[in-house]
Structure formats: C-alpha cells, structure tokens
Copies of this chain bind each other. A is one copy, B any other.
Amino acid sequence: MTDRTGAAASTDQEDVMTIRAVVWGENIHERTNEVVAGIYPEGMHATIANALKLDPEISVSWATLEQPEHGLPVDRLAQTDVLVWWGHKDHGAVADEVVERVARRVWEGMGLIVLHSGHFSKIFKTLMGTPCTLKWREAGERERLWVTSPNHPIAAGIGEYFELENEEMYGEQFAVPEPLETVFISWFQGGEVFRSGLTYRRGAGNIFYFRPGHETYPTYHDANVQKVLRNAVKWAHNPQRAHPAILDAPNVPVEKALEPIVERGGKLHAEGEPGYR
C-alpha cells in the first residue's frame, strides 16, 4: 500500500489528535504531459501532501483516480477528516457511487477542499447545485490574490495579498451559490477578476474552494499557496464525531411529541410507516 497511497509515510505521526487529511489527485497529466511531469515528478497529490505534512497537526495520505474505488473505499473515507480534491482531465471517470459516498461524508461532517479545475468535478457540482462555470485562459499570466476577509483562519499568515507570476486565468461569472464568506479575490493581468477563496457549509461539512493550481505551473510549490492549504485543512476540520443522522428523516410519533398533542384530521401514513423519499 505504501507506494500507492503514501499512507505508510505518515502513519507514524498519526494519533488521535491529528487531522487525518487525504489528498485526492487525478494523476493523469503528471504521467502523460512532459511539462506537468517535470514540475510534479511524484504527482501533484504528493506535492500537496508534502505541503500539508509540514504542519504537525495534520497527518496526510493520498488517493488517486486509477486506484480501486479511486482510492476512496468506504472504510478509508470513514477515517478521513478532510479531503483535498484536485482533478481536471477526466472528471467523468469518477464513479457516481464514489461521488455520492464523498457527498455523504461531507454532509456527515468531513471537510472538503476543492482545488482549481476541481470546480468542474462531479463532487463540487453536486454540492453546489449550480453549473460552476467560468471563463478561462491558459497564458501563464500574473495572478494576484487579495485577502477580503483579514484574520479569517484560512488567510492566517498571508498579508494583504500574494502573487503567482504564472497562472491560468479564471474569470467571472463563476456560477456558484453566494458563499458564506469570500476570503480571496484574484486580479488577473489580462483584465479579469475571480472569487478565488470561498467558504460553504453543506450539512455538517465545511467546504473551501481555492482557485490556483493549473498543472503546467509550479503553483503547489509556492509557499503562500501551501500555507493557505494547511490553513484550509485546519479550518475545514470538524473535531466532532460524524453526524450520520443528517441522512435520516425520522418520524416523531404523536405519543412521543415533546409537548402533549392529540392527533387530528386525515392521515396518509399508517402507524410506524416510513415517509416517502
């Protein structure tokens, strides 16, 4: 397992108190595109995972598309506190069953960090309920990310802004729901802007979308980007136990009502019958 998930490398630092993060990488362009392979010889997921490991509170492993169940079997997800998602080339190859599984874990309380081209991943579109469309241009232009919520935990240690000299442009309108909070907005050299750091809650799970990360540039080697990723994992982590009850729609029988009531009027459901779904 060691060579495929990187789990062994981090097992020794795992204990009850650490945040168990899994970095999910599509791992296609790293193996098929020379430019990408040159920047991320071990895979983007490995670079991201190594960045997270710099924080002693985070224990980290990775998973990739080509693994059985994309490296996200039920029991592993059940042991995951925060999932970081990077995909681009083949969103459609992710099995619907795994997408539903991840969504359920988010609703139960697992944190989710969606990166860059992950805006079009099935899991992000499922959780947003919108097309998640945007404008784009692959020209290696300058991006400057401005902090719009100073002292937000995700922006800790970042100044007023930071720059990436070469990035893909993403431009508004970004078709996502209004976020809980906007943490970063990007300025692009070619004239566009983009809401680059957005927080959401879906069920009991915290979600952060973070824009940078085109695979032909060394974005995940950038110190500020790495700091934001560590901050985001810690922000998204919910130390409480999973809340699977969020999937239930329980009937509260009349005789168990918290205030005494008498049943009146017509009924559809016989005693103890479940609701329609």
Task: Tell me the A residues contacting B by CB distance below 8 Å.
Answer: 29, 33, 35-36, 39, 88-92, 103, 107, 109, 117, 120, 126-131, 133-141, 144, 146-153, 156-157, 160, 166, 169, 171-175, 177-178, 180-182, 185-193, 195, 200-205, 215-217, 238-240, 243, 245-254, 257-259, 261-269, 275-277
Q: For A180, list chain B residues within 8 Å (CB).
A: 178, 180-181
Instruction: State A89–B276 Cα separation when bound (angstroms).
Output: 6
Show 15 A/B contacts (Cβ-Cβ < 8 Å), sorted by A: A89-B276, A120-B249, A129-B202, A130-B202, A138-B251, A139-B261, A140-B263, A141-B264, A144-B191, A150-B203, A172-B185, A185-B185, A186-B193, A190-B252, A191-B259
Q: For A39, list chain B residues within 8 Å (CB).
A: 266
Residue of B at shortest CB range from A207? B129
Given contacts A261-B139, A264-B140, A276-B90, contact A187 B187 (CB under 8 A): yes
**Nearest CB on B from A152, distance (A):** 8
Contact between A201 and B177 (Cβ–Cβ < 8 Å)?
Answer: yes
Q: For A245, list chain B residues within 8 Å (CB).
A: 150
10 tightest Cβ-Cβ pairs between the two chains A and B: A140-B265, A191-B258, A151-B204, A216-B266, A140-B264, A35-B266, A190-B257, A191-B259, A129-B129, A127-B129
